[in-house]
Structure formats: C-alpha cells, structure tokens
Homo-oligomer: A and B are copies of this chain.
Amino acid sequence: MGRWEPNARGRLAQAALTLYAEQGFEKTTAAEVAARAGLTERTFFRHFTDKREVLFHGTEMAKDLLVRTLTEAPDRTAPLDAVGAALETLGARLQEDPERVRLRDAVVSANAELRERELAKLAGLAAVMADTLRDRGVPEPAASLAAETGIAVFKVAFARWIAQAGPSDLLSVLRASMTELRDVAADHGPA
C-alpha cells in the first residue's frame, strides 16, 4: 500500500467501529466508513472484502500472537497449558484497550451476521492452534481437543467479563475459567 495511506487498515477499522456504534452496522456503508477515515471507498475495498470484515481486523494479530506463544512454550508443556498461556497473551492484549473491545462486542452482538462471522473467526483461531500443537508433536485428537476446549473456555470467560460492570480484568477471568474447566472435567459426581 502506498505511503499516502499510512495505517489505512487501522484507520478504517477505527472509523467502522465508531460509525457502526453510532448509527448501526446495517445503516452504514463502506463509503461512509472510508470517508470517516479520510480515505476513498476504493481504498476500503483494497483492504477489506466487505463491511463485515473490517470488524475482524484484529483476527490476524490474534492468530500471530497465539501461534507465537504456542511455539515458544517450553518443550513438553502439556497441550492445554500451552493453549491457556497463549489465550492469556491474547487476553492481556485485549485488556490494553477494554473500552474498544467492549464497544466492538456490543456492535457484533447486535447483528446475527456479525455473530456468525465472529464464531467463524474463533473456529479459525482453534484450527490454527491445533495446527501449531501438531507441529510441536502433539498427537490427534489431543491437539484439536486442547485447541477447541481452549476456545470454549475463552468464549465463556469473555462473556463473563463483558457481563461484569466496572473495570474488571479479562486476564484473571480467563485464568479462573480455565481452572474451573479443569474442575468440571475432573468431576464425575458422587461416587
């Protein structure tokens, strides 16, 4: 991309979030998003395939972060421990700008198409974590189970964090949820 469009992706993502929150996702056009970002509609479509995709600007960052953390885990780290550490890194990143994360969640939650796309992106994160675990020598189905379960825990923790009023810490909710999951999995009821 040319020098005359510094950080176009980030500017478009920010403009889209602001407009979708102000006037609704359905009522906003890609042209309006581009104009708010001081860019042309053509530039919008050079960066994003549609006005949904601009809300998922952070997915590639999330993938990179998860893959890097998984790859850097010490050898012989248990799969779910490695997944937990990777998700904590992602949680810490989201925690850097909780207002933006909450605003984005409100926009996504208000629209069925966006909720579906969000689920697809989360499934993509699970798939990339499973791939990375397999590359580390974790066999199937352990690799897929650790990755999918990690995303399940992340979804539950994220929803709990969103539901909490006030400045709470996503990272600690995530850690507590992983511990709870291990308890749930160990529970076979009264003997």
Contact = CB atoms under 8 A, between A and B. Distances in A.
Interface of A: 76-81, 112, 115-117, 119-120, 123, 140-142, 144-146, 148-149, 151-153, 155-157, 159-160, 177, 180-190
Oligomer copy total: 2
A187 B149 CA distance: 14
Contact of A185 (B141, B160, B182): B182
Given A80-B187, A187-B79, A189-B77, A181 B149 contact: yes
**Chain A residues touching B, majority SS:** helix
Interface centre among A140, A151, A156 (most CB of B within 10 A): A156
Given A78-B189, A185-B80, A186-B186, A144 B115 contact: no
Given A116-B119, A119-B120, A141-B156, A78 B149 contact: no
A110 to B, nearest CB: 15
29 contacts: A76-B190, A78-B187, A78-B188, A78-B189, A80-B184, A80-B187, A81-B187, A81-B189, A112-B120, A115-B120, A116-B116, A116-B117, A116-B120, A140-B160, A141-B156, A141-B177, A142-B180, A142-B184, A144-B156, A144-B159, A145-B156, A146-B184, A148-B155, A149-B149, A149-B184, A149-B185, A151-B152, A152-B152, A185-B186
A77 B188 CA distance: 7
Nearest to A119: B119
Contacts of A152: 145, 148-149, 151-152
A187 B117 CA distance: 32
Contacts of A189: 76-78, 81
